[in-house]
A = this chain, B = another copy of it.
Amino acid sequence: MALDHAILVSLLEQPGSGYELARRFERSIGYFWTATHQQIYRVLKRMESDGLLDVREVPQEGRPDKKEYSVAGPGRAALSLWLHEPIEPESLRHDLAVKIRGAAFDDPAALVREVERHRQVHGERLAHYLAGELRDFTGPEAPVPLDAGQELQHVVLRGGIAYERMTVAWLDDVLATLGRLGRGGPRT
């Protein structure tokens, strides 16, 4: 149940509405955790009724009113508690790898287009992350020096960058392997 904690962290970094949170989960927080708005609204409601969050109705002009959530005392305590608990190192869960092994029992060449598509998506994510890094942390517009929170955000972003870079390289490896198989093996 780390969605709760991801929301707490995001709201500590910056209070906001469910809608805004959902957008953050498509960007920065989304580097390592995804969530849809339906999920977020439900969790926000539950956390608010549990006293972990405060709500403030914010009337707006030209836009629907919104509810701005912020972290209450008990919410901060709950986060602190979780931060001191050990968690399990995660394991991968990669559908594409299942497909690749499955290709042995079907037509490997048919997989090429699919792998190319994934490669492109990951390449775009990589470019997106790199642009964000330049904008927020390493470019001329970035604050110098970075405070502790920014340093931590940066190292997490570097993790996302490393992941996408690794994935792109691996998918190239997969494509090369499929190509070799398609040409009937390496007996030049």
Interface residues of A (CB under 8 A from B): 2, 5-6, 8-9, 12-13, 29-34, 76, 79-80, 82-84, 86-87, 89-106, 108, 110-111, 114, 117-118, 121-122, 145, 148-149, 151-156, 158-160, 162-163, 165-166, 169-170, 173-174, 177, 180-181, 185-187
**Chain A interface mostly:** helix
Q: A93-B90, A94-B33 are in contact. Are A173 and B152 (CB under 8 A)?
A: no
> 26 A-B Cβ contacts within 8 A?
A6-B98, A8-B102, A9-B105, A12-B104, A31-B92, A31-B97, A32-B93, A33-B92, A33-B93, A33-B94, A80-B106, A82-B102, A83-B106, A84-B110, A86-B114, A87-B99, A89-B122, A90-B95, A90-B96, A94-B159, A97-B159, A104-B153, A151-B180, A158-B173, A159-B173, A159-B174
- Inter-chain CA distance A6–B114, complex, in Å, is 18
Q: Give the distance to chain B from A30, nearest Cβ to Cβ, in Å.
A: 7
How many protomers of this protein does the assembly include?
Answer: 2
- Inter-chain CA distance A180–B145, complex, in Å, is 13
**A111, B83: Cβ atoms under 8 Å?**
yes
- Inter-chain CA distance A80–B96, complex, in Å, is 14
Q: From A184, which residue of chain B is reached at the shortest CB distance?
A: B148
**B97, A33: Cβ atoms under 8 Å?**
yes
**A145, B108: Cβ atoms under 8 Å?**
no
For A86, list chain B residues within 8 Å (CB).
114, 117
Q: A32-B92, A156-B100, A170-B159 are in contact. Are A148 and B108 (CB under 8 A)?
A: yes
